Each structure stands twice: as structure tokens, then as C-alpha cells.
Amino acid sequence: MAATLCSKLLPKQGWLSLTQSVRHGSKAVTRHRKPMHIHKQKLLAVTQYIPPAREFPPGAYPSQTKHVQEDNDLTLLMKRELKKLFEDYKMIAVVQNSSSSAEDMMTLRHRLYKHNITVKFFPNKVVRSFLSDSIYCNMGPLFVGPAVMFVSKEPKVKEMLTTLRGSPQMTLLGACIDNTLLSAQGIVSYSKLPSMTVIQGEVVSGLSMLTSHTAYLLQRHPAHLSQLLQQYIKQQSSDGSAEAAPKAEEAT
């Protein structure tokens, strides 16, 4: 009706107005969702279907229980030898053997034996098992592949490095010297340090110099005082003799 009224009012000149008012009727919502009763909610929650847990075939996943394998007699014997080795020797070096022949190994062992350095062979599995329960657990990563141990009761680092220069197939990985874990570069730096006898001699000479200097300082003041007293006595005696000579001449 509004559209017809608007068309009657507008002149018939072949054009339409830019704005047209159209009325839309409102739609009333008469349906609302009815809330569910609390008893019905409880009943649905209790009777809800719960599917059973899916069963996986055996062996599909690793077992959560750890099977601890006991060491045999040979392994226990090797562990006891390793424990005694770390207690008695001050230098334990780990060297990787890169396809060295039996003849070369025999020659190397003979050269090292001249400097009281012994070559030891142990399985890596046994060594890592021993180190994991000891204070030397940080040495475990060194025992990978064909590893050999050079041990000596005294730290013969210079001799060991000199001997290894003639065996390029042997690579030095690290060492434990005086309960201190050192890398290959650390071992080279350790070899440049002076020996213990030289350090002890320097310490003894320094201490003796200090004691002699202290004794000199303690004896200097009494000696200087005694010299001054002796000089004073001589001056007094010379002055007394000089005064006594004119008195004797006057008396005569």
C-alpha cells in the first residue's frame, strides 16, 4: 500500500526516487529449548556408553619393567681389576686404535714399557658399566669403538706423547691424571708444566732465601748497635788519655 501511494504521488516523467521506504513485519520466536530436568541429566550421565580400552598386540610397545641382568663371574673379575687399576695408577689415558696391526701394537707396547707405561685392554661395555657407578663416570663417553688404556703409576705425560708421535694410527682422546679428567689439549698443556722435583727445588730455595734474609735482618741491628758502642768506647778512651796528658805536664 505504501509503494502504491508513493507511485501515485510521484510525477510520471520516467524516473524513480532514490529512496523507498519498505516496512517489514517482525517475526516473533515462540519456541524455546526447554531445560532438561536434573534427574534426567543424572540418568543420562550414568547410562552413558563407555567403550572398552583398546588392546594392543603383545610386543607393539616396549615393556615398562626393566630387566636387570646380573653380571657373570668374568665381568665381576674385570670390574675388580678396573677398581684396583684406578686406585693404584695415577695416569690412565684413553687412546683410540684406528686399524693398528699386531706388530705395530707390539712395538708400541715395548716403547711404552721402557717408560714404565703399561697397555691395558678391557671391553667397552664392562668399562662403561664400572664407570657409571664410580666417581670417574665422566670418562664413559671416551670408551667408544676400539679403545686402549695407557696406565702408569706416575704421570709420564711427556714420554707418552713422545711415543705416540711415532704411531699416527693411535689417537689420544683423554686421560685421568691425579684424579683429574683432562682432554687431549689439556694433556698437552700438562706436559709443558715443570716436573715435581723442579717445583720442589724452587720452593725450597725460595723458603731458604726468605729465612736467610730474615736472619740477616734480625742480626743486623744488634751488630750495628755493638759497633756503635765499641766506637763510642774508643772515643771516650782517646778523649780521656788526651785530657790526662796536659794534667801530668802541669804537675811536673
Q: Which residues pair with 149 in a beta bridge?
A: 94, 120
Exposed e or buried b per residue across 6-37, where buried means at least 16 C-beta atoms within 10 angstroms of its C-beta: eeeeeeeeeeeeeeeeeeeeeeeeeeeeeeee
CATH class for domain 73-192? alpha beta
Q: Residue 176's pLDDT is what? A: 92
Residue bearing cell 686421560: 175
Q: Which residues pair with 175 in a beta bridge?
A: 93, 182
Residues 6+ apart with CB under 8 A from 191: 157, 158, 161
Q: Residue 32's pLDDT is what? A: 73
Residue bearing cell 516496512: 23
Q: What is the pLDDT along the chain (252 residues), one digit of tens a residue?
A: 444 444 444 444 455 555 656 555 556 666 777 888 999 999 999 999 888 888 878 777 777 776 667 778 888 999 999 999 999 999 999 999 888 888 888 999 999 999 999 999 999 999 999 998 888 888 888 998 888 999 999 888 999 999 998 888 888 999 999 888 999 899 999 888 877 787 788 888 888 887 877 777 777 777 777 877 888 888 888 776 666 666 556 655
Q: Residue 92's pLDDT is what? A: 92
Q: Residue 66's pLDDT is what? A: 66
Residue 101, SS3 per DSSP: coil
Q: Which residues pair with 216 in a beta bridge?
A: none
C-alpha angle 180-181-182 in degrees, rounded to nearest 5: 110
